[in-house]
Amino acid sequence: MRERPMLKSDLINILVAKRGVTQKQAEATIETIFESMKDALCRGENIEIRGLGAFHVKNYQGYQGRNPKTGQVIPVKPKRGLLFRTGKELRDRVNRPAPQQAQADLASPESKGPGSTGTGL
pLDDT in tens, 83-93: 999 999 999 99
Residue 56 lies in a domain: no
Considering only residues 107 and 53, tell me which one the structure prediction assigns the higher pLDDT. Answer: 53
Residue 39 lies in a domain: yes
Confidence of residue 117 (pLDDT cuts 50, 70, 90): low
Distance CA 91, CA 85 (A): 10
Considering only residues 98 and 104, tell me which one the structure prediction assigns the higher pLDDT. Answer: 98
Confidence of residue 115 (pLDDT cuts 50, 70, 90): low
Residue 18 lies in a domain: yes
CB 52 within 8 A of CB 85: no
pLDDT at 44: 96
Distance CA 23, CA 9 (A): 10
Domain that holds residue 11: 7-43
In the predicted structure, residue 29 carries a pLDDT above the cut 80:
yes
User: Which segment of 49-53, 64-68, 80-84, 102-106 scores lowest on mean pLDDT?
Assistant: 102-106
Residue 97 lies in a domain: no
User: Which segment of 43-47, 56-60, 112-116 scores lowest on mean pLDDT?
Assistant: 112-116
Which of 55-59's residues contact partners 24+ apart within 8 Å by CB, and which partners? 55/82, 55/83, 55/84, 56/82, 56/83, 56/84, 56/85, 57/81, 57/82, 58/82, 58/83
pLDDT at 101: 62
Beta strands in the chain, from DSSP E residues, in sequence order: 47-49, 53-60, 63-66, 73-76, 79-86
Residue 21 lies in a domain: yes
Number of folded domains in the chain?
Answer: 1
Residue 31 lies in a domain: yes
Mean pLDDT estimate for the chain: 88
Residue 116 lies in a domain: no
Residue 37 lies in a domain: yes
